[in-house]
Amino acid sequence: MTTATAAPPQTERKTYLNSAHGVKSWLLTSDHKRIAVLYMISVLVFFILGGLFAVLIRLELATPAGDLVESNTYNKFFTMHGVLMVFFVLIPAVPATLGNFMIPMMVGAKDLAFPKINLLSWYIYVVAGLFVLTSLMMGGVDTGWTFYTPFSTSYSNGYVIVTGLGIFISGFSSILTGLNFIVTIHRMRAPGLTWFRLPLFVWANYATSLVQILGTPVVAVTLFLVVLERGLHIGFFDPAYGGDPVLFQHMFWFYSHPAVYIMILPPMGAVTEIVSTFSSKKPFGYTFIAFSSVAIAVFGFIVWGHHLFVASQSIYAGMVFSILSYIVGIPSAIKVFNWTGTMYKASVRLETPMLYALGFIGLFTVGGLTGLFLASTGMNVHLTDTYFVVAHFHYVMVGGAIMGTTGGMFYWWPKMFGRMYNQAWSKAGAILIFFGFNFTFFPQFILGYMGMPRRYHAYPPEWALLNSLSSAGATVLGLGYAIAIGCLLVSLLKPVTETADNPWGATTLEWKTQSPPTTENFEVTPVVTEEAYTYSSEEVVHVG
Amino acid sequence: MKKHDILTDTHPGEGPAEHHAEHIVPLPVYFAVFAALIVLTWVTAFVATIDLGRLNVFVALSIAIFKASLVLLFFMHVKYGTRLTKMIVAAGLYWLILLLFIVMQDIWTRNWMGVPGR
Amino acid sequence: MASQAPVFQVRHHFENAEQQKDASTVGMWLFLVTEIMFFGGLFLAYFVYRQWYPEAFASASGKTNLLIGAFNTTVLICSSLTMALAVHYAQLGKKNLIVLFLILTLLLGGAFLGVKAYEYHDKWVHHEVPGANFECEGCVDPGHTSLFFALYFGMTGLHATHMIVGAVILLYLIWQAKKGAYTAKWFTPVEMFGLYWHFVDIVWIFLFPLLYLIDRTKTGFGI
């Protein structure tokens, strides 16, 4: 009887997925990988819910008349869409899922510094989500996700307090994730893993964590004051008592602007990993990417006044914020050069994650450049509160952040679950998303330029064509996402096969573990002796 | 780019490079800090009853900052702490100052143009 | 001794005890930074409104009791000392002294909260709580004085909430210390809580002059 060299097909490898069974083993886990999966499920739920509100918005806007719902209801649609997407999808999207899963492995650790706090952060997130869902079921909020006073504190008929508390609570989830990452990255790196040998995904999440720690508490206290004012009529922002509604805007945007960097930095990190792997080339200008990530996080804190240009902020402050907003664009632009430089003269493989990364680079560039239009105070006067702004932030948030996140999911899926998805379908999904996205949001730039206000459920008939185009594009975008998500979920129906642990030929430490990894990640703590991203000429396993 | 211990530290998992031993602050130090804090509390209360015009705020805040520094450095052991601890404290204070002063640069310059609402 | 003292073990994902302790310290400091920014928002509101309504703020501040404020500050500083001593004796592994100083810290903290409750009641009785029945008797620029009191209650209320949470944690620490959980080898919870308690003290060190000492030239130490 010959002895087989491969493991007998009957025995399943021990992984973090099958190391323990039962609901309790998932809900009481301290394994960062299982917590990442818990987050993935809940983030997906909120993404779908937020997406449904987007469908309702585009359905109403498909025709000029406000005929689907009345204006107060429409206000609730875009508010819930914004609240869910910003606080419950975009903020945790990469850090709490891919970050949680990969970062300990990328630094060569067995887990994050505080595993139980990691689990707590998920429970806090779920409780916060329940608050918001409760508010939704009671009738929702109509203030916009920005909760401007005095509408939110005095005049709104929606459930501001419940929603505000929900967002307040979700902030703590974000803070705990950031705290965990900072401690882990500072203190749990494997021997030999110096800062400049870290994968750039780690640098991106580190910069993000700085923003989470320093910014989130300010929006927490701001919402706390809104709740107090609305509940107890105390008057922090009420002009009748001498309060200043613009102070609310300052405090709100002090967090909410850096928040957009929380949303974009981790997907940028994912894109760097993807571009490097699928070019089989070290990222061009590693140091620039690392430092520009931190620069974005730091500079991102001093530009928030560009949301207040027309809010009776002082002209001089406006000038300062405008200049700073131009400066903050520089590190982001540097990254675009880094990515394209990485691909230059490399043999680029157009696998699914790479398609998303390429889409990201193009769409983020458009979104970022249009941000500069808005940073100019003169133009801002005409473009603010129009669809130009809506298009701008969807280009960076969806074309950028969400595409980067999705690309990251497709990239690390085989690592997380040991299965590969269908290549044809996944690529079709990516392409549909790209085209659907552009058809949805490019017309909105034109509409905004022509003066169509945002947050209106009706508009003059001359804009009907562009709006219909946008709504049609949204359908394609939705279909693309259905295919993409479906593709990933269907792959889970397949059994975990003996596919290569590293199908893409990546070089970062997490790919040296088994796919899916064991609970402990590493049997023995690795010792790092090479610089990051050293690609050898070893054969890259092509995905069939 | 300067070479920094932390950035090229090849044994990051073992904690701070300085191999931080447990530092036990001698009791007299604690009592001295305590005495200073109590005295300064009553000094600041007393000074508030004297009319120093614009200096009142300055004195009160200076005393408060000094007291807070004593608590930070000695009771919270920052003086004997790692470089990372000191950086974190500095970052927190810096960001607070950013928040305060950048908003104030709007408040303070609001009426400079003499135009209502600008 | 009926119950066995729990044995200290390094958590599985850490390489050694020093790394674990260091990680906890860094984590706690990061949390305190978030607290700086959290209170910072309120300090910002105070800063803005005091700039705009200096007489209203000065006049409203005169409604607080300086003697009680200074006394309470003293009490809190004493509790900071006892907390520092609790950590000190934890470093030395002196179980009974750890328990003693933790209990003293709790009592002093409780005294602070008791005095605060008295102050709040006094304000309530004098209609100085913002809301429908608000009235600042004899105040300059009365239309803007409710902002001062909103900030007074907001800031001291948030501070008091942090102290109440601290008190609950102290109860837990005292219970654990009595069981002998804290030895010279491991006393991280005591030390971490100490950092928290000192931070809450620092917040009060700023609240005292900002809320009680705006302008005492007319009232002096008088009630």
Convert A382-411 to b/e letters by CB count within 10 Å (16 or more is b): ebbebbbbbbbbbbbbbbbbbbbbbbbbbb
**Backbone angles phi and psi of A266, in degrees to 5:** -65, -45
User: What number of CA atoms fall less than 13 Å from residue A370's CA on the CB side?
Assistant: 25
Which chain C residues touch A228 with a CB distance below 8 Å?
A: 154
Contact present, C73 and C205 (Cβ < 8 Å): yes
pLDDT given for residue C6 in this prediction:
63
Question: Token pair of C131, please?
Answer: 């809301």
C17 touching chain B per CB within 8 A: no
- Is the predicted pLDDT of residue A498 greater than 80, yes or no? no
- Is the predicted pLDDT of residue A507 greater than 70, yes or no? yes
Burial of C94 (0-12, 13-18, 19+ CB in 10 A): middle
Contact present, A234 and A228 (Cβ < 8 Å): yes
DSSP 3-state of A14: coil
Min Cα distance C133 → chain B (Å) is 30
Nearest CB to A191; choose among B11, B95, B108: B11
In angstroms, rounded to a whole number, what is the distance separating the alpha carbons of residues A184 and A119?
Answer: 15
DSSP 3-state of A386: strand
Provide the sign of the torsion angle of the four alpha carbons A89, A90, A96, A100, taken in this order: positive
Which chain C residues touch B27 with a CB distance below 8 Å?
A: 85, 88
Q: Distance from first CA to last CA of chain A, Å, rounded? A: 32
Average pLDDT for A66-90:
95
- Is the predicted pLDDT of residue A542 greater than 50, yes or no? no
In angstroms, rounded to a whole number, what is the distance separating the alpha carbons of residues A435 and A362?
Answer: 12
**Is the bond leading into A516 cis (omega within 30 degrees of zero)?**
yes
Average pLDDT for A253-267:
97
> Taking each helix axis from N to C terminus, what angle separates A352-375 and A423-450, rounded to the nearest 10 degrees?
10
Mark yes or no for CB contact C77/B96 under 8 Å.
Answer: no
Question: Token pair of A394, please?
Answer: 């969807």
pLDDT bucket at C222, cuts 50 / 70 / 90: low
Mark yes or no for CB contact A254/B117 under 8 Å.
Answer: no
Which chain A residues touch C156 with a CB distance below 8 Å?
A: none
In angstroms, rounded to a whole number, what is the distance separating the alpha carbons of residues B115 and B113?
Answer: 5
Reported as a single tens digit per residue, the pLDDT across A137-178 is 999 999 999 999 999 999 998 899 999 999 999 999 999 999
Mark yes or no for CB contact A221/C147 under 8 Å.
Answer: no
Provide the sign of the torsion angle of the four alpha carbons B111, C61, C221, C115, taken in this order: negative
* Number of C-beta neighbours around residue A306 at 10 A: 23
- Is the predicted pLDDT of residue B3 greater than 50, yes or no? no
Q: Which B positions 14-73 lie with beta carbon below 8 A of chain A?
A: 14-15
**Backbone angles phi and psi of C84, in degrees to 5:** -60, -40
Domain C17-216 matching CATH 1.20.120.80: the answer reads yes
- Is the predicted pLDDT of residue A83 greater than 90, yes or no? yes
Of A514, A511, A500, A501, the residue nearest A535 (C-alpha): A511
Q: Distance from first CA to last CA of chain B, Å, rounded? A: 44
C223 touching chain B per CB within 8 A: no
pLDDT given for residue A272 in this prediction:
97
Contact present, A271 and A199 (Cβ < 8 Å): no
Residues 6+ apart with CB under 8 A from B98: A301, A302
Which chain A residues touch B112 with a CB distance below 8 Å?
A: 314-316
Residues 6+ apart with CB under 8 A from B65: none
Of A457, A450, A474, A465, the residue nearest A65 (C-alpha): A457
Q: Find, in chain A, the residue whose alpha carbon is nearest to that of C146.
A: A241
Mark yes or no for CB contact C51/B75 under 8 Å.
Answer: no
Reported as a single tens digit per residue, the pLDDT across C1-27 is 445 566 778 888 898 899 999 999 999
Mark yes or no for CB contact C32/B92 under 8 Å.
Answer: yes
Contact present, A328 and A300 (Cβ < 8 Å): yes
Q: Find, in chain B, the residue whose alpha carbon is nearest to that of A215.
A: B95
Contact present, A272 and A283 (Cβ < 8 Å): yes
Mark yes or no for CB contact C22/B27 under 8 Å.
Answer: no
pLDDT bucket at A543, cuts 50 / 70 / 90: very low
Reported as a single tens digit per residue, the pLDDT across B15-73 is 444 445 578 899 999 999 999 999 999 999 999 998 888 899 999 999 999 999 999 99
- Is the predicted pLDDT of residue C90 greater than 70, yes or no? yes
Burial of A333 (0-12, 13-18, 19+ CB in 10 A): middle
Burial of B116 (0-12, 13-18, 19+ CB in 10 A): exposed
**Across the A/C interface, how many CB contacts are shorter than 8 Å?**
114
Contact present, A79 and A141 (Cβ < 8 Å): yes
Average pLDDT for C144-171:
96
* CA distance to A182, A330, A420, A512, per residue, from A271 (Å): 21, 18, 19, 20
**Is the bond leading into A461 cis (omega within 30 degrees of zero)?**
no
In angstroms, rounded to a whole number, what is the distance separating the alpha carbons of residues C147 and C128?
Answer: 11
Question: Token pair of C40, please?
Answer: 């910072």
Mark yes or no for CB contact B118/A302 under 8 Å.
Answer: no
Give residue B105's identity as a one-letter amino acid code. Answer: Q
Min Cα distance A124 → chain C (Å) is 16
Average pLDDT for A291-311:
96
Contact present, A411 and A277 (Cβ < 8 Å): yes
* Number of C-beta neighbours around residue B5 at 10 A: 10
Q: What are the DSSP calls for A261-314, one per residue?
A: HHHHHHHHHHHHHHHHHHHTSPPTTHHHHHHHHHHHHHHGGG-GGGG-TTTT--
CATH of A35-517, one of 1.20.210.10, 1.10.287.110, 1.20.1050.10, 3.40.470.10: 1.20.210.10
Question: Token pair of A517, please?
Answer: 């990894």
**Backbone angles phi and psi of B70, in degrees to 5:** -60, -45
Mark yes or no for CB contact C154/A228 under 8 Å.
Answer: yes
- Range in A373-382, A391-400, A488-497 the model is least confident about: A488-497
Mark yes or no for CB contact B106/A195 under 8 Å.
Answer: no
Reported as a single tens digit per residue, the pLDDT across A172-211 is 999 999 999 999 999 999 999 999 999 999 999 999 999 9
Mean per-residue pLDDT over chain A, rounded = 93
Q: What are the DSSP calls for chain C, one per residue?
A: --SPPPPP---TTSSSHHHHHHHHHHHHHHHHHHHHHHHHHHHHHHHHHHHH-HHHHHHHHTTS-HHHHHHHHHHHHHHHHHHHHHHHHHHTT-HHHHHHHHHHHHHHHHHHHHHHHHHHHHHHHTT-SSSTT---TT-SSGGGHHHHHHHHHHHHHHHHHHHHHHHHHHHHHHHHHHTT--BTTB-HHHHHHHHHHHHHHHHHHHHHHHHH-S--TTTTT--
Nearest CB to B13; choose among A190, A250, A313: A190
pLDDT bucket at B116, cuts 50 / 70 / 90: low
Higher pLDDT, C96 or C7: C96
* CA distance to A101, A270, A405, per residue, from A265 (Å): 17, 9, 11
pLDDT given for residue C5 in this prediction:
61
Of B88, B102, B99, the residue nearest A218 (C-alpha): B99
pLDDT bucket at B111, cuts 50 / 70 / 90: confident
DSSP A453: B
C128 touching chain A per CB within 8 A: no
* CA distance to A80, A341, A355, A508, per residue, from A346 (Å): 44, 9, 16, 19
Question: Token pair of A18, please?
Answer: 């099958």
DSSP A96: I
Partners of chain C (3+ Cβ pairs below 8 A): A, B
- The ipTM (two decimal places) reads 0.93
In angstroms, rounded to a whole number, what is the distance separating the alpha carbons of residues C114 and B21?
Answer: 40
Partners of chain B (3+ Cβ pairs below 8 A): A, C
* Number of C-beta neighbours around residue A22 at 10 A: 8
Min Cα distance C77 → chain A (Å) is 26
Q: Find, in chain C, the residue whose alpha carbon is nearest to that of A185.
A: C23
pLDDT given for residue C138 in this prediction:
83
Contact present, A364 and A270 (Cβ < 8 Å): no
Q: Which A positions 155-184 lie with beta carbon below 8 A of chain C?
A: 175, 178-180, 182-184
Mark yes or no for CB contact C26/A182 under 8 Å.
Answer: yes
| Domain definitions of chain C by residue range | 17-216
A316 touching chain B per CB within 8 A: yes
Can you list the positions of beta strands (E) in A361-454? none
pLDDT bucket at C136, cuts 50 / 70 / 90: confident
Give residue B52's identity as a one-letter amino acid code. Answer: L
DSSP A521: S
Mark yes or no for CB contact C208/B63 under 8 Å.
Answer: no
Average pLDDT for C166-193:
95
